[in-house]
Amino acid sequence: MKRIAILGSTGSVGTQTLDVIAHHPERFTVEGIAGGTNLPLLIEQAKRFKPRKVSVSTKALADELRLHISEAEVLYGEAGLTEIAAGTDADFVVTAVVGSQGLRPTLAAIDAGKQIGLANKETLVSAGHIVTDLARKRGVKLLPIDSEHSAIFQCLNGESHERIRKITLTASGGSFRDRTRDELQHVTVQDALKHPNWSMGAKITIDSASMVNKGLEVIEAHWLFGLPYDRIDVLIHPESIVHSFVEFTDHSIIAQMGNPDMRVPIQYALTYPDRLETPSKPLDLTETGKLVFRKMDFERFPCLRMAYDSGRAGGTMPTVYNAANEVAVSRFLNGDIGFLQIEHVIEQVLSQHAAVAAPDLESIMAADQWARTAASRM
């Protein structure tokens, strides 16, 4: 039995993780779940999966939750999230909260020696060296849940890292992939939230449309696979069938394919190195017919160029890229700024930042906070 704790159990990745667990009750128990504000769903999950600890974002919500569930200890806030990450009997923690608020709880889980199923990419972008160093020291595996990174991880199974020529992350192009920059002037939040292939939380769906998601994924890949940025490529693949691929020194390419369904990478992280049945639809390539791949256009998607630049600059630059984007996306979702202003905010905040090299956690937190304040004023 693998004992699981989930940070962000009420979200898109969180609910799909519980779906995977529900299909294999003989394999998994749920020790702890943490959600934000979706109380009805958290109550339903607590009753069904019977974790010993449950956490919500505020004290008021925790008080209300206690009226509905008596079997579990109810916690709240950052302390509650950290307790679900590090203070349960779980041996495996799925990090599926959104944003760099996942950083401290993830570090706590690693410090406590829990294996990590990593969905929360912002954590690795914000503090990649700190997270990977601690994982190395504690002997903790960071098992990728992000579909592209799971794909690369599967392609690399048994291969020597010295034989990798480059890896290529595929990008669907997001909700506006066929629109020109001029046409982006007046797009709405509703338009932006219509991802062509994946059903995901609001923040990552906007990130897909701006290509920030792929930027975050490039930096995530740098830390997960220890590759320099000039050996991490991105291309547009509108079908999201090839989830990513590796080219080796002999020019062989190994790709991982499947219908777009997050339950596959989630389950692989949970069962690695084993594989189990899933309820996902099998891929029939004769039905797919044609797969399209296009070169990335960095003029059309400047947020990807800024991610490469931030990653290469290192230090606190990726922290600031991520935090500025988090604020810009939240402002876009609230109707405060237009879609194209997301990239403007990121660019301006990056240009004003005096980077700190080899930052410790305190400097990372300070840079994150500085970027949030700057981005909210722009």
Ligand X SMILES: NC(=O)C1=CN([C@@H]2O[C@H](COP(=O)(O)OP(=O)(O)OC[C@H]3O[C@@H](n4cnc5c(N)ncnc54)[C@H](OP(=O)(O)O)[C@@H]3O)[C@@H](O)[C@H]2O)C=CC1
**Helix/strand number for the chain, H first, E second:** 16, 12
Please indicate if the annotation marks 214 as binding a ligand. Answer: yes
User: With binding defined as CB under 6 A, does residue 57 bind ligand X?
Assistant: yes
- DSSP 8-state code for residue 281: P
Please indicate if the annotation marks 68 as binding a ligand. Answer: no
For the segment 162-191, give every residue that binds ligand DXP (CB under 6 A).
Answer: 171-172, 174
Q: Of 69, 129, 189, 201, which one interacts with ligand X (CB under 6 A)?
A: 201
User: With binding defined as CB under 6 A, does residue 8 bind ligand X?
Assistant: yes
Least distance in angstroms from the C-beta of 131 to ligand X: 13
Torsion sign, CA atoms 256, 260, 264, 269: positive
User: With binding defined as CB under 6 A, does residue 86 bind ligand X?
Assistant: no
Question: Distance between CA 84 and CA 108 in Å, rounded?
Answer: 10
| Continuous segment of H or E residues that includes residue 293 | none
Taking alpha carbons only, the member of 259, 260, 300 closest to residue 173 is 300
Question: Distance between CA 45 and CA 170 in Å, rounded?
Answer: 33
Q: Which among 58-66, 79-87, 208-216, 288-296 is the span making contact with ligand DXP, rule CB under 6 A?
A: 208-216
Question: Distance between CA 221 and CA 80 in Å, rounded?
Answer: 29
Least distance in angstroms from the C-beta of 161 to ligand X: 24
Least distance in angstroms from the C-beta of 263 to Mn ion: 14
Name the residues that contact Mn ion, by CB under 5 A: 146-148
Question: Distance between CA 331 and CA 328 in Å, rounded?
Answer: 5
For the segment 234-263, give every residue that binds ligand DXP (CB under 6 A).
Answer: 262
User: With binding defined as CB under 6 A, does residue 117 bind ligand DXP?
Assistant: no
| Continuous segment of H or E residues that includes residue 21 | helix 12-23
Please indicate if the annotation marks 82 as binding a ligand. Answer: no
- Kindly list the residues in this chain that would bind ligand X in the complex (CB under 6 A): 8-14, 34-38, 57, 81, 96-98, 101, 119-122, 146, 198, 200-201, 203-204, 262
Annotated binding site for Mn(2+): 146, 148, 217
